[in-house]
Amino acid sequence: MPKKIDAAVKERALLMIADQRQEYAPPTDPTHVVAAGVGARKETVRQCGCL
């Protein structure tokens, strides 16, 4: 498993979070939706600095 997140995947996750953020009150709630969308774990999305 790679230690670094691909830049394209990180960019896609950032765009997805921007879209999902208004639907969820706490900022960590959209992580499960974004993680499923980019094929990563929820914690990986949170740690990559996307939130």
Are 5 and 44 within 8 A, CB to CB?
yes
| Identity of the residue numbered 3 | K
CA terminus-to-terminus distance, the chain: 22
Write down the residue that tokens 């600095």 correspond to.
Answer: 49
SS3 call for 50: coil
Mean pLDDT of 14-24: 75
Res. 24 pLDDT band, cuts 50 70 90: low
Say how far apart CA 31 and CA 38 lie, in whole Å: 10
User: Looking at residues 9-18, what average pLDDT do you find?
Assistant: 81
Percent of the chain topping pLDDT 90: 0
Q: How far apart are CA 10 and CA 23, in angstroms?
A: 20
Asked if pLDDT for residue 12 goes beyond 80, the answer is: yes
pTM summary value: 0.49
Tens digits of residue pLDDT in 30-42? 777 788 888 888 8
